Amino acid sequence: MKAGVFQFCPKFGEVEGNLNLIENALSKVDADLIVLPELCTTGYQFTSHDEVEALCESVLDGSSIRRFIQLCEDRQFYLVVGIGERSDTGCYNSSVLIGPKGHIGTYRKVHLFNKEKTWFKQGDLGFPVWDIGLAKIGMMICFDWIFPEAARSIALQDADILCHPANLVLPFCPDAMITRSIENRIFTITANRTGTESREAQESFHFIGQSQMTSSKGDLFFRMGEDESGVHIVEIDPTQARNKQITETNQLWDDRHPETYIINRTGKN
Amino acid sequence: MKAGVFQFCPKFGEVEGNLNLIENALSKVDADLIVLPELCTTGYQFTSHDEVEALCESVLDGSSIRRFIQLCEDRQFYLVVGIGERSDTGCYNSSVLIGPKGHIGTYRKVHLFNKEKTWFKQGDLGFPVWDIGLAKIGMMICFDWIFPEAARSIALQDADILCHPANLVLPFCPDAMITRSIENRIFTITANRTGTESREAQESFHFIGQSQMTSSKGDLFFRMGEDESGVHIVEIDPTQARNKQITETNQLWDDRHPETYIINRTGKN
């Protein structure tokens, strides 16, 4: 299958313009799965709850989702899209998996970064995995990378590809995602945004680009530039992720010893 | 405190010679904690159970341990030493923490690599952490690096420094240990060996050197060369590892959500 990313610079609050940009960029792309950045329709730095309410949408029938579904139907591909979700239980920093037949699944970000805690509720859907036929897909968002338990939870449910919409500002994640790939024998696709966002009374955020994709053995297929915009697609065989054999006698899952692992902090300081 | 590694090329089976080499290298070193490679007294590639029995030793009162204790007493430092352990319950690929007053603790390798499964029993002591006053110390060995649960188990017990004797042959670990450091906010010291070992009817193993040390924020203090021999010591403040604050609103441990993590594989394929 052909999978990849679209890296670009969304403009804050300009949902219509961002959607046009995405549609134009993907209108002629030959791919099966494309991952877009976190919060790619709205931009990142909210300044009020009213703004969050106004810009977030239902991931089932919001106008952005309807346009994404139409795009998937037209192009016969799957999209993973980072989007601000408004629901009956509150607003979430979410990622949706959409296909030619519509909405497939939603992941709500579990590990919220910095002021996201002010604007979004903590994700309450765990780390689900969906089988789209071509591959089994899991999703995590940006800062989830720093918690190895996120990628592990996805891999332990037999995901082939970890899709990772991001708005990265710190420099560590691209290399860390190679580790996530190796330790789980899973393909990873990190779609990051570019540009700088400065909003009233907020610190200016510069996003590091460098969207990338790894094989299930941690080989880097590509890493885009810091300020590059564009689509990058590669051909992969996602079933390679189902081979967890590291050496003749080491199988990744058989070699785990959960009975020896400590899950919760035991100390007091 | 001053902490670091001694990277060198042990010769298989020449325990006496390897000990002399270690003692000479460390006889004038000004340090508080030095980490030595995995199986650094015996060499790596055993070819029979008789050989394992003959070369492994008690980590409480074997002759190698007694020499290491003497060295720690003379130099007033702590050592972490990778050693083949013979005990009442079998032989283990172990790491011992030794100080000026003697043996402090033993870690037995949980994730055995390749033919180690033929020669050693799986570690049965978990991932303990010891407080030596200067710092809290955890140990893991070589291939344990690929399982994020090993370093996590150590960090969740408030270790400041993760000591990591290794005999690395694959290229991924040095960069992955930076990720281990960042995701746990912990100092890491990987002591790897150098050289090539070829033993009868075994594949020839080339070890990649590149012993390294990271800060609790994933900064690389140093990475030694592939074939370099020598001691490398840096001054660190291990209490920095006790600050798990990533941003004003993100504290590494508070931000974990173990209730959402999947620990055991759920799939069937």
**pLDDT tens string B143-198:** 999 999 999 999 999 999 999 999 999 999 999 999 999 999 999 999 999 999 99
Assess whether pLDDT exceeds 80 at residue B106.
Answer: yes
Assess whether pLDDT exceeds 50 at residue A66.
Answer: yes
**d(CA B2, nearest CA chain A) in Å:** 23
What average pLDDT does the structure give for chain B? Answer: 96
**For residue A199, what pLDDT is reported?**
87
Tell me if chain B has a CB within 8 Å of the CB of A171.
no
Q: Which residues pair with B213 in a beta bridge?
A: B189, B222
Tokens of A94: 């979410």
**For residue B203, what pLDDT is reported?**
80
Question: In chain A, what are the domains?
Answer: 2-260 (3.60.110.10)
What average pLDDT does the structure give for chain A? Answer: 96
**For residue B199, what pLDDT is reported?**
87
Question: What ipTM was predicted for this assembly?
Answer: 0.96
Q: Please, which pLDDT band fits residue B269 given cuts at 50, 70 and 90? A: very low
Residues of chain A with pLDDT > 90, as a percent, come to: 96
Question: Contact B157/A267, CB-based, under 8 Å?
Answer: yes
Q: Please, which pLDDT band fits residue A190 given cuts at 50, 70 and 90? A: very high
A122 or A202: which leads in pLDDT: A122
Q: Please, which pLDDT band fits residue B267 given cuts at 50, 70 and 90? A: low
- When pLDDT is averaged across residues B242-254 and rounded to a whole number, the result is 97
Tokens of B43: 């060499």
Contacts of B246 in chain A (CB under 8 A): 146
Query: Under 8 Å CB-to-CB from B85, ≥6 apart: which residues?
Result: B56, B57, B58, B59, B91, B92, B93, B94, B96, B106, B108
Question: Contact B111/A147, CB-based, under 8 Å?
Answer: no
**pLDDT tens string A33-53:** 999 999 999 999 999 999 999
**For residue B185, what pLDDT is reported?**
98
Q: Which residue bears the tokens 């940006």?
A: A142
* B157, B213 contact by CB (below 8 A): no
- When pLDDT is averaged across residues A72-85 and rounded to a whole number, the result is 98
CA A17 to chain CA centroid, nearest Å:
21
Q: Which of B98, B104, B188 is nearest to B150 (CA)?
A: B188
- When pLDDT is averaged across residues B69-75 and rounded to a whole number, the result is 98
Assess whether pLDDT exceeds 50 at residue A269.
Answer: no
Q: How far apart are CA B92 and CA B121, in angstroms?
A: 5
Contacts of B175 in chain A (CB under 8 A): 175, 178-179
Assess whether pLDDT exceeds 60 at residue A141.
Answer: yes
Among A146, A249, A263, the residue with its CB nearest the CB of B117 is: A249
Q: Report the C-alpha dihedral over residues B120, B123, B124, B128, rounded to 10 degrees.
A: 150
**For residue A267, what pLDDT is reported?**
61
Q: Please state, in angstroms and as integers, the Cα–Cα distance from residue A237 to each residue in A34, A136, A160, A187, A199, following that order.
A: 15, 12, 9, 10, 42
- When pLDDT is averaged across residues A118-130 and rounded to a whole number, the result is 98
Assess whether pLDDT exceeds 90 at residue A201.
Answer: no
Query: Under 8 Å CB-to-CB from B63, ≥6 apart: which residues?
Result: B57
Tell me if chain A has a CB within 8 Å of the CB of B127.
yes
**d(CA A238, nearest CA chain B) in Å:** 14
Residue B52 is classified by DSSP as H
Tell me if chain A has a CB within 8 Å of the CB of B256.
yes
Q: Which residues pair with B80 in a beta bridge?
A: B35, B97
Tell me if chain B has a CB within 8 Å of the CB of A147.
yes
- When pLDDT is averaged across residues A108-130 and rounded to a whole number, the result is 97
Assess whether pLDDT exceeds 90 at residue B12.
Answer: yes
Question: B interface mutation test: which of A121, A175, A179, A246 has the most B CBs within 10 A?
Answer: A179
* A42, A56 contact by CB (below 8 A): yes
**For residue B60, what pLDDT is reported?**
94
* B212, B224 contact by CB (below 8 A): yes
Tell me if chain B has a CB within 8 Å of the CB of A255.
yes
Helices B148-155 & B173-184 angle (0-180, nearest 10): 40
Tell me if chain A has a CB within 8 Å of the CB of B179.
yes
Q: Which residue bears the tokens 């001691």?
A: B231
Residue B110 is classified by DSSP as S
- When pLDDT is averaged across residues B100-128 and rounded to a whole number, the result is 97
Give burial (CB, 10 Å; 0-12/13-18/19+) of A248: exposed
Tell me if chain B has a CB within 8 Å of the CB of A259.
no
Catalytic position from the list A40, A56, A142, A163: A142
Q: Which amino acid is at A173?
A: C
Question: Contact A249/B178, CB-based, under 8 Å?
Answer: no
Q: Is residue A142 among the annotated active site residues?
A: yes
Q: Which amino acid is at A264?
A: N
Tell me if chain A has a CB within 8 Å of the CB of B88.
no
**d(CA B181, nearest CA chain A) in Å:** 10
Q: Please, which pLDDT band fits residue A251 given cuts at 50, 70 and 90? A: very high
Q: Which amino acid is at B173?
A: C
Q: How far apart are CA A55 and CA A33, in angstroms?
A: 26
Which of A124-138, A194-208, B131-145 has the least mean pLDDT?
A194-208
Question: B interface mutation test: which of A113, A122, A190, A260 has the most B CBs within 10 A?
Answer: A260
3-state per-residue secondary structure call for chain A? CEEEEEECCCCCCCHHHHHHHHHHHHCCCCCCEEECCCCCCCCCCCCCHHHHHHHCECCCCCHHHHHHHHHHHHHCCEEEEEEEEEECCEEEEEEEEEECCEEEEEEECCCCCCCHHHHCCCCCCCCCEEECCCCEEEECCHHHHHCHHHHHHHHCCCCCEEEEEECCCCCCHHHHHHHHHHHHCCEEEEEECCCEECCCCCCCEECCCCCEEECCCCCEEEECCCCCCEEEEEECCHHHHHCCEEECCEECCCCCCHHHCCCCCCCCC
- When pLDDT is averaged across residues A24-32 and rounded to a whole number, the result is 97
Question: A interface mutation test: which of B130, B146, B177 has the most A CBs within 10 A?
Answer: B146
Assess whether pLDDT exceeds 80 at residue B55.
Answer: yes
CA B188 to chain CA centroid, nearest Å:
9
